[in-house]
Amino acid sequence: MNDLENYFANNTGNLIMKWRHYFKIYERHLSRFRNSEVNILEIGVRDGGSLQMWKDYFGPNARIFGLDINPQSAQLRESQIEVFIGDQQDKTFLTELAQRLPRLDILIDDGGHTMQQQINSFDVFFDQLSDHGVYICEDTHTSYWASFGGGYRKPGTFIEYAKEKVDLLNAYHNRHGEPGFEVNDFARSTASMHFYDSMVVIEKAPKQEPELKHTGKMRLPRFKATRIPKG
């Protein structure tokens, strides 16, 4: 059990609601930011328990920002924690908020979980992350729930949106000039994408065109397989 799991299991403060398997994922992708001057935005703060959990986990140099549509969430402000009130569905508001915030290192989307909310948030905030930042979208199982605008392989869900980004991870290998597969800012700034049950994690890092290099000596002759005709 890692430190976040321990905090969650022993929490007697404000309510925290998280799927239990999330804590291993958090540890895998976020532990490198501990005890650093990290800036975090969590969308959807409910009772504020997770804000306090991040404060405990990342240490005294962390700056933690929360966003929620509930005006009463403003009461959750405390040392190291600032809370903004607004609608995640409103892309104009998100853009204005992004301009007010410092450069973020971590974004955790645990907001309304509808397709437009998740996509809006990614569209606005991914480019606002630092060069080695981490973007986490939680509860992506709603991409399969009609009540949230989802459906299995339905166009326009966050999962389908994220699947398209996978192609862009490989855009440097576009040999045939396929449209929509060109190297863009996402391809240049993204190191990896991780799909988990109910969560997508995207890690940033500046990336240049991959180089294939060789070391050592060739010992075996090139082998060309002989294909047997069918029929």
Is 194 among the catalytic positions? Answer: no
Handedness of CA 15, 102, 93, 153 (dihedral sign): negative
* DSSP state at residue 230: P
**How far lies 175's CA from each of 89, 172, 178, in Å?**
38, 8, 8
DSSP assignment of 176-218: S--TT-S--HHHHHEEEEEEETTEEEEEE-----------S--
**How far lies 61's CA from each of 53, 111, 117, 179, 228, in Å?**
14, 25, 30, 44, 65
Q: Which of 31, 35, 33 is nearest to 3 (CA)?
A: 31
Which residue out of 29, 113, 132, 141 is catalytically annotated? 113
Distance CA 219, CA 98 (A): 56
Q: Which residue has the tokens 């576009």?
A: 174
**How far lies 21's CA from each of 61, 149, 165, in Å?**
27, 25, 24
The length of the chain in residues reads: 231
Residue 17 Rama label (left phi>0; alpha psi -120 to 50; beta): beta
Catalogue the active-site residues: 113
